[in-house]
């Protein structure tokens, strides 16, 4: 059973924003991530998508 979830939204393909969010998620011991949208419209869509898939 998943006990802690994080919700990601409004990253707008900005890698430093995603990196910071993922670092905080890891630090908090989150077990699952829900992606709510607005992730790929911005300067680094390919990189953001690749990172989200890993």
Domain residue spans in the chain? 5-53
Q: What integer pLDDT is reported at residue 5 of this predicted model? A: 94
- Residue found under tokens 């430093």: 16
Q: What integer pLDDT is reported at residue 37 of this predicted model? A: 87
Question: Tens of pLDDT along 30-44?
Answer: 999 999 988 899 999
Question: Tens of pLDDT along 1-36?
Answer: 778 999 999 999 999 999 999 999 999 999 999 999
Contacts of 14 (CB under 8 A, 6+ apart): 42, 43, 44, 48
Q: What integer pLDDT is reported at residue 10 of this predicted model? A: 93
């Amino acid at each position: 059973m998943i006990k802690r979830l994080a919700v990601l939204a409004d990253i707008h393909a900005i890698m430093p924003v995603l990196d910071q969010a993922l670092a905080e998620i890891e630090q908090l011991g989150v077990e699952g991530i829900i992606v709510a949208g607005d992730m790929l419209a911005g300067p680094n869509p390919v990189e953001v998508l690749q990172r989200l898939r890993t």
